[in-house]
Structures are given as C-alpha cells and as structure tokens.
Structure 1
Amino acid sequence: MKEKIYLLPGLMTDERLWERLIPFLEDEYELIHLPIPLTDDFDEATLQLESIIKDEKINLLGFSLGAYVAIHFTIKNPSRVNRLFLVAGTPSKMKESEVEKRKQTLKQMNNMGFKGLSRHKVISLLEESNQNDEELISIVKNMFSDLGEKVYNIQMNSTFKRKALHNELISLDLPIKFFYSTEDRLFTHRSLDNFTDEHKHITKVSRKGTSHMIPLEVPEKLSFEIRDWMK
C-alpha cells in the first residue's frame, strides 16, 4: 500500500495546482487533494478538515495560504500529523500595509465586478523562464476564474485574520520542511528568521528564482524535496 500525502492548495487554486507534480510522485505515493474549507475562520477550517480526514495520522503538505491552514491544523492536532511540508508559505501574520493593500484590491474588485486575472497579471506571477508557457498561463487563469468571486472574498478575508504562529510551530515535535524561491515577492522571507539551527526538526530549503507557483513551475524539484521529506 502506498503511503499517503494530503495536499492543501493556496489562494484561488484547486486540484489543478498538482497536475504537473503528480506524474513525478504517483508511482510512490497516494496524493490526496484537500480543498481549503469555504470559511474565513481558521478554527472552523480546522474543524472541517478534522471531519474530512479519516486517517489517524497523516503526512500534510500545504501551499501558500494552504501552508498556513496546514500549520493551524497541525498545531490544533499535533498527534494527527506525521510530518509537515510548507511550500511558499509561512506561519506569519500579514503586515498592516499588505492588509490595507489587499482590502483596497478586494473593494475595487467588488465595486467593478469580478473579472478574474488578466493574462498580463498571470504572466507577472510567473518566473521569466515560464512566461511563454501557454498551458501554465491557462491553468492559473482558469483556476482563478472558475473558483469565482465568492471563494475569492472568503479566502482574501481569511488572510486578514492570520496570526503569527512561529512559537507554536517551533514547539511541535515532528519534522517540518519549508521550500520556497529566493526572490518570491509573495513569500514572507523575514518569517524564517524565527527558525534557527537549534530547531533541529525544522528544515529550510530554497531554490534560486522568483516562482511562487512552485508545484506548477518546478514540479520535478519539488518532488525531489518531497521524497527527501518522506524519508
């Protein structure tokens, strides 16, 4: 029987986030997609995940917003998680300046109507080497459009309610791995300063580049890091 890995996506992403990663891992592991619960309350999201996940103990991987949800779930249920993998995500709260910026974006989008992401915006989110990948551009654009305005509002509102969970993460007695791009503008790099060499259960691995959408942009490298984490 294959060992299972539960996967939580990020803001305005769904199971399509994993479609380029799956071929590298499906022969070795059973990959189980968990949609982010439709709530802006992290305690409620954790309760919903507790009822959805039937296995007593799991390997949990979260991407971006999903990484924060995974952290929150693990802190509330430390006995139910074997190991934790955080892709392009941290346990930090959002800076007030970023909260205000996002609130303005949310207000503007609600006033003007939900139009999804423009092609130009999608391209700006991708690493330069991937900006001519039409399939990739379509995946990102379509996930955002298909999830729609209701999900966008709920997930954006949830980001305003993030609390710093560094101390709680440090206190966990299980293997934790961060994987991120060195120049990712959406990643809170300063958050990692909280984790030092004395925290032996926490591993920080970076890759040179700007990619935030790591599961779609560098799936082979991610799969290598996942195998290492599972061992």
Structure 2
Amino acid sequence: MKKVYFISGTMCTIDLWKLVFSRLKYTNFVHIDITSATSFSDINKLIINAIDAPAIIVGFSLGGFSAMNFAVAYPEMVKELVVIAANSDALDQNEIQLRKSTIDFLEQHKYKGVSKHRIQQFLHPDNYQNENIISVIKKMDSDLGKKVLIRQLKATSSRVDISEHVSKLKVPVLFVSAENDALVSAESIKTTSKTLSKGRYVCIKNCGHMIPLEKFNELSDIINQFI
C-alpha cells in the first residue's frame, strides 16, 4: 500500500478528510497537523518530521500552498503532489489588510466561532443548508479555537509568490479546483498547472472551496486515479 500524506487548510483538522479517507484505495494515509506552526519554515519542519521521503503529499487550501512551498524547498523529498483549492500566488494587499484587522479584533474580543456568512463563503450555494457539511466546519473551528486561528493567520500572512519556483518542479503535480470557488480562482489554478512540465489539472463542477467535504466522492476518485 502507498503511504500518502495529507495537509489540511486554515482551521481544518483531520475531520476534513474522513469521507475522502473512507474511499481511498490501496492507501495508507497520514495526516500532518500544521496548526502548531508559527511560520512556513515551521510547516516545512513539521512535514520533514512526518514523512518518509520521497513522499506523496496531498494539500488543501493552506495545506496545498504549504505542500508546494515544501516541494520548492525540498524537491528531493517529494514524489508527487496533489494541490486542492490552492494556488502559488502571494496574498494580495486587501487580504493582508483583512487578516491584520481580523487578528486585531480577535486579540481584543471573545471569539464566538465561525459565522454563518463565513461558512457560506466556503460553499457552493447548493450546500448553504447542508447541515452535514456545516457541522463539520463548525466542529473543526470549535476544536481548534481562537488561539489557533490567530496563530495560523499570523503564521501565513507573509505568503510570498512562489509561482516561478513551482513552475520548475519536475515531479507530477495534480491541481484540483472547484468551478464555484469564491476564494481561489479556478482559472488561476488552471494557468499555474500549465507552467509545469508534469502538471495536470481537474476542475470539479457545482462545488465551492470545501472540495473534500462537498465533493468527496469525486475527489477520492481523482486521487485514486492519480496516485
């Protein structure tokens, strides 16, 4: 069986992947928890300590960027990448300012948990009332809490553009986007995939940002076929 390593996104735990894990074939899956990291350098160290190289790494959102960033820094330690709902761009100034404002607010106020409006930003409209998905998002947020949210926002706000470095990767990289992702442009992910000599691209329709929860059947099939 192949060992495959999974990295979650911001305020996501192993719960993000449970439905995907249940459908993976011939796979020994390992979740890498990056919530303790205070920088991308820390994230790289956590990955190094977790994997048997060369490794197959699957990353979602922040986890996808982290997987690419790790592959750029340690190409000899990566066999294949699956990057889900993530691109190699830097954060734009609006996002950076929003994060600063959010951190300032959180440090001065009680955290009441992820809001309904924020959850809907993650989802396709068809899933706005999907309690199975919503309950997982709320549980992950509650399990991690305010301190982790602040730490993750601070740790990842210095995200720089690694697109040029990613384009030089020689390992197979599968990029998976969602047609209706309001946070990460599917078209931008497609463009990035074309810059790699071994880049592949798949777009999942009728899906928002939370691909592992919204379209776990399709995502599992895609991962099974790639690895």
The structure-2 alpha-carbon separation of the partners of 1:132 and 1:218, relative to structure 1 and needing over 3 Å to count, comes to same
1:105 paired residue number: 102
TM-score of the superposition, structure 1-length normalised? 0.91
SS in 1 for 2:23: helix
Question: Identity percentage over the alignment?
Answer: 28
Displacement of 1:183 in angstroms is 2.2
Q: Secondary structure at the match of 2:142?
A: helix
Whole-angstrom distance in 2 between the partners of 1:168 and 1:65: 17
Amino acid at match of 1:111: Q
The one of 145, 160, 169 aligned to 2:142:
145
1:144-198: per-residue Cα shift (whole Å, max 9, x none)? Answer: 1110111101111123110111111111110011101122111145643753746
Is 1:31 matched with 2:35?
Answer: no
Give the count of matched residue pairs: 227
Q: Which moved more, 1:106-115 or 1:85-94?
A: 106-115
- Indicate which of 86, 91, 101 corresponds to 1:89: 86
SS of the residue corresponding to residue 19 of structure 1 reads helix
- In structure 2, distance between residues paired with 1:28 and 1:205: 22
Unaligned runs of 5+ in 2: none
TM-score, normalising length: structure 2:
0.92
Given that 1:37 and 1:48 are in contact with CA atoms closer than 8 Å, whether structure 2 keeps it comes out as no
Specify whether residues 149 and 39 from structure 1 end up closer, same or farther in structure 2 by C-alpha distance, changes over 3 A only: same
Unaligned 5+ segments in structure 1 are none
Distance 1:59 1:197 in 2: 20
* Distance change (3 Å), C-alpha of 1:88 and 1:206: same
Residue equivalent to 1:21? 20
Alignment of 1:105-124 (within 5 A): 105-124=102-121
RMSD between superposed Cα atoms in Å: 1.9
Partners of 1:188 and 1:95 in 2: CA distance: 13
Q: Distance in 1 between matches of 2:110 and 2:135?
A: 21
Q: 1:213 to 1:103 in 2, by over 3 A?
A: same
Residue 48 of structure 1, CA deviation: 2.6
1:135 matched to which residue of 2?
132
Residue 225 of structure 2 corresponds to residue 228 of structure 1: yes
